[in-house]
Amino acid sequence: MLKIDFKKELNAAQYEVVTTGLGPHLVLAGAGSGKTRTLVYRAAWLIHQGVNPEKILLLTFTNKAAGEMMLRVKNLLGLKTGASLPLWGGTFHSIANRLLRAYGKYIDVPSDFTILDTDDKKSLLKIISKDLLANLPDRHKPSPALISETISFAVNSQISLEESLEYKFSEWLPMLEYFEKVNKEYETRKKNAKLLDFDDLLLYWRQLTLETRAKKIMEDKWEYILVDEYQDTNTLQAEIVFNLSQKHKNILVVGDDAQSIYSFRAANIQNILEFPEKFKNCQLHKLETNYRSTPEILDLANNLIVGSPEQFKKNLQAVKDSHVRPELAALRSNTEEAWFVADKIQYLLSLGMRPNQMAVLFRAAHHSQTLEMELNRRGLAYEMRGGLKFFERAHVKDVLAWLKILGNHRDEVAWSRILQLYEGIGPVTAQLIYQRLLELKNIDDLLDFKLTLADKAASSWSRISELLGILISHKTENIGRLVNFIIEHYSEYLEEKYPDYRQRQDDLDQLAMFASGYASLELFLNEISLQESFGLGGTSQDTDAIVLSTVHQAKGLEWPAVFVINLTNQSFPHPLAVSEEEQAEERRLLYVAITRAEHYLYLSYPLAIYRYDGYKSFQPSPFLTELDSKLFRYNELASKATYAAQDGIEYVPDPDTTVRKPGQFLPDVDEW
């Protein structure tokens, strides 16, 4: 094991946390204060103290964060990158998945369950919804997405369906009974098909912590629990943490209440606020030194968060040297905004900055579209994060559905997806076939399974069973090979349905390549459903590309130069965020965006966006116009729009304002 000079490599506050005694600890860590570093060193310190690494559980918020943290622990301990670390670490969902595969039997959860992602969940709810209220036109029924959210929120907050409905979509309260019926049926169908959704993973893990035998196993397994991003845990997760730490009481959680941005997913800020009451003799620590950003950027962030009703008071101090003030730019349209960003990027590149030192952040995944086109036009490589993931793309899911059937032939969602790809098979026939398929004991029985169907459906079924025959007989072979069989069969449909089939074909080839690295079907299916694997979908980790990301996805990351675009009154705060709490969360979201930047920060917004129904004009985000104007450098339009907004006037740019072209948005007043 490497020798680590803890005292030298950490600041005083971090050192205190890392080397603190046992028992419960709450660490309030501001943005950029070395939160991850502290957690990583804490794990290493415990190990240096002679703690068996297997006794440590490290819970994080995203798989990316987990991967990075495990890597850093390894490096710190002097282990090779490829070496396996006996310490368990991951997201709540991925740990739950591992546990349930092993110990689910104690609470009647089959070990070979399939995980439903959000999209799968919606399709199952859609099937059920159709069945239950066939006579009612859809416009009078809540959408599957709405039902899904209501159920999810209820489970994760541990409240009733009624309370969840009242809180989230009170206008649907009159149909509560329908929600309950759908939910009940949803539970039944999941059970029959051996399906677990994301919420079930947490729900059953909590159940495991209450079951005597499983509880003992977990207590023997972990004596030290470390949790990152605690401000974004939900009620269920907090209960799991509480139950897990009852025996040994060695629990250390890190979080920042100013960065709580997941309440839509039932994150409960009370978890962190009430931690000291819930855990007796809890020690409170604060990390208030920011190592990331320049004082100018921090001033802006602090000024923004002043308007937030925050419970724990922190005062973030910068240690970096002063630099330029952040720049605020208003542009006449979203096209101009894209030119502006692209011009600035090329300017920074000319200063010698690398593409991967820059990121463009935005509120919603589709806000990047115009910019993407512009970057493509200029031949600038970028990596898109947020929005549809590789494994959520329609064609990828189609191919995966075959593998899922192979792994669990009762998977209703996968069957329904595949069957309806074929001519002559719609929802009704698909359901009929599925019901018959339930008679099968084993997927192998499918080889001599006979069905009577109408002409078109019958010929489709024979094509389906032909492929299944091939797959079943090669079941134990390399997964990449299986995927190739499926692609061969599927490509005809792909070319017909999608004009951009070439690109999609590439995706599938990548999938085959990726799949060939797995030894077993179970392992493969397991991992993809929680998206634990990186580097798929056209980009790999170490590509030198500009990052385009939603603010949510950017959480925990940092870049020397950050652009936050589309900061209009119609997107930040998002118009659907109406309540005071939601507005406060939008403010924290912008806070997270701003605090990602180390040296350069550009905030911009278009005054108009061209859409299908003509130009629509916008005003600057209220979060911007309320800020102290001395904190920015403004371009001409931005200063006019800001003054107008402060006087409560809508600003429309003067048509005589000099119109600029791409390449003409170089710095007006750049000071460096």
Partner DNA sequence: ACTAATGTCCTTTTT
Partner DNA sequence: GGACATTAGT
Q: Under the criterion CB under 7 A, does residue 91 sit at the interface with DNA?
A: yes
Whether the CB-CB separation of 334 and 610 falls below 8 Å is answered with yes
- For every residue of 186-200, DSSP letters joined together read HHHHHHHHTEEEHHH
Q: Under the criterion CB under 7 A, does residue 574 sit at the interface with DNA?
A: yes
Q: Are strands 608-611 and 614-617 parallel, antiparallel or unpaired?
A: antiparallel
From the list 2-10, 47-55, 56-64, 101-109, the region that binds DNA by CB under 7 A is 56-64
Compute CA distances 62 → 68, 200, 550, 553, whole Å. Answer: 10, 18, 14, 9
Minimal distance in Å, beta carbon 621 to DNA? Answer: 14
Nearer to DNA, 363 or 599 (CB): 363
Alpha-carbon distance of 672 to 659, in angstroms, equals 26
Whether the CB-CB separation of 46 and 226 falls below 8 Å is answered with no
Minimal distance in Å, beta carbon 280 to DNA? Answer: 30
Residues 397-436 contacting DNA, CB under 7 A: 423-430
Select which of 207, 235, 259, 357 is catalytic: 259
Catalytic, 343? Answer no
Looking at residue 181, its amino acid is K
Q: Which two structure tokens, joined as six digits, stand for 537?
A: 């979908």
Q: Under the criterion CB under 7 A, does residue 531 sit at the interface with DNA?
A: yes
Q: Which residue has the tokens 């947020």?
A: 386
Select which of 197, 199, 228, 411 is catalytic: 228
Q: Under the criterion CB under 7 A, does residue 366 sit at the interface with DNA?
A: yes
Alpha-carbon distance of 521 to 403, in angstroms, equals 8
Minimal distance in Å, beta carbon 290 to DNA? Answer: 24
Which of 239, 241, 231, 243 has the alpha carbon at shortest distance from 267?
Answer: 231
First to last CA, the chain: 45
Nearer to DNA, 294 or 429 (CB): 429
Q: Under the criterion CB under 7 A, does residue 63 sit at the interface with DNA?
A: yes
Q: Under the criterion CB under 7 A, does residue 500 sit at the interface with DNA?
A: no
Q: Under the criterion CB under 7 A, does residue 462 sit at the interface with DNA?
A: no
Q: Under the criterion CB under 7 A, does residue 457 sit at the interface with DNA?
A: yes
Paired with 601 in beta bridges are 562
From the list 91-99, 397-405, 518-526, 617-625, the region that binds DNA by CB under 7 A is 91-99
Alpha-carbon distance of 407 to 17, in angstroms, equals 46
Q: Which two structure tokens, joined as six digits, stand for 235?
A: 């009620």
Alpha-carbon distance of 154 to 157, in angstroms, equals 5
Catalytic, 64? Answer no
132 torsion bin: left (phi>0), alpha (psi -120 to 50), beta (else) = alpha
Minimal distance in Å, beta carbon 366 to DNA? Answer: 6
Which of 452, 416, 408, 458 has the alpha carbon at shortest distance from 434?
Answer: 416
Nearer to DNA, 120 or 343 (CB): 120
From the list 375-383, 518-526, 590-598, 606-614, the region that binds DNA by CB under 7 A is 606-614
Q: Under the criterion CB under 7 A, does residue 553 sit at the interface with DNA?
A: yes
Under DSSP, the state recorded for 516 is T
Looking at residue 214, its amino acid is A
Which of 577, 667, 572, 576 has the alpha carbon at shortest distance from 624?
Answer: 572
Minimal distance in Å, beta carbon 61 to DNA? Answer: 7
Select which of 229, 239, 337, 412 is catalytic: 229
Other C-beta atoms closer than 10 Å to the C-beta of 589 total 25
Q: Under the criterion CB under 7 A, does residue 324 sit at the interface with DNA?
A: no
Choose, by CB under 7 A, the member of 21, 50, 137, 352 that binds DNA.
Answer: 137
**Buried b / exposed e across 475-499, counting CB within 10 Å, b at 16+?**
eeeebbebbbbbbebbeeebeeeee
Minimal distance in Å, beta carbon 123 to DNA? Answer: 9
Choose, by CB under 7 A, the member of 3, 80, 280, 611 that binds DNA.
Answer: 611
Q: Under the criterion CB under 7 A, does residue 134 sit at the interface with DNA?
A: no
Residues 186-215 contacting DNA, CB under 7 A: 198
Q: Under the criterion CB under 7 A, does residue 265 sit at the interface with DNA?
A: yes
Residues 31-50 contacting DNA, CB under 7 A: none
From the list 61-69, 338-346, 434-442, 502-510, the region that binds DNA by CB under 7 A is 61-69
What phi, psi does 383 have (nearest 5°)? -125, 120
CA dihedral 198, 202, 207, 208 (to 10 degrees): 100
Q: Under the criterion CB under 7 A, does residue 463 sit at the interface with DNA?
A: no
Catalytic, 228? Answer yes
Alpha-carbon distance of 401 to 475, in angstroms, equals 15
Choose, by CB under 7 A, the member of 408, 550, 569, 604 that binds DNA.
Answer: 550
Q: Under the criterion CB under 7 A, does residue 552 sit at the interface with DNA?
A: yes
Select which of 35, 37, 286, 325 is catalytic: 35
Minimal distance in Å, beta carbon 310 to DNA? Answer: 19
| 610-616 own/partner pairs: CB under 8 Å, 24+ apart | 610/333, 610/334, 610/335, 615/333
Nearer to DNA, 138 or 628 (CB): 138
Q: Under the criterion CB under 7 A, does residue 264 sit at the interface with DNA?
A: yes
Q: Which two structure tokens, joined as six digits, stand for 588?
A: 């924290």
Q: Which two structure tokens, joined as six digits, stand for 273?
A: 């606020």
Nearer to DNA, 89 or 144 (CB): 144
Catalytic, 229? Answer yes
Select which of 190, 314, 325, 596 is catalytic: 596
Which of 156, 176, 155, 157 has the alpha carbon at shortest distance from 165?
Answer: 176
Choose, by CB under 7 A, the member of 118, 188, 192, 376 that binds DNA.
Answer: 118
For DNA (CB under 7 A), the number of binding residues is 48
From the list 443-451, 470-478, 569-577, 636-644, the region that binds DNA by CB under 7 A is 569-577
Choose, by CB under 7 A, the member of 35, 363, 410, 596 that binds DNA.
Answer: 363
Nearer to DNA, 138 or 274 (CB): 138
Minimal distance in Å, beta carbon 581 to DNA? Answer: 12
| Residues whose CB is less than 8 angstroms from the CB of residue 252 and which lie 6 or more positions away in sequence, other chains included | 17, 20, 24, 25, 27, 39, 42, 224, 225, 226, 227
Minimal distance in Å, beta carbon 138 to DNA? Answer: 3
From the list 55-63, 185-193, 251-259, 638-646, the region that binds DNA by CB under 7 A is 55-63
- For every residue of 432-462, DSSP letters joined together read HHHHHHTT-SSGGGGGG------HHHHHHHH
CA quadruple 529, 530, 532, 538: dihedral positive or negative? positive
Residue ranges binding DNA (CB under 7 A): 61-63, 91-94, 117-118, 126, 137-139, 143-144, 198, 261-262, 264-265, 363-366, 386-387, 389, 423-430, 456-457, 530-531, 550, 552-553, 574, 576-577, 611-613
Residues with active-site annotation: 35-36, 228-229, 259, 596
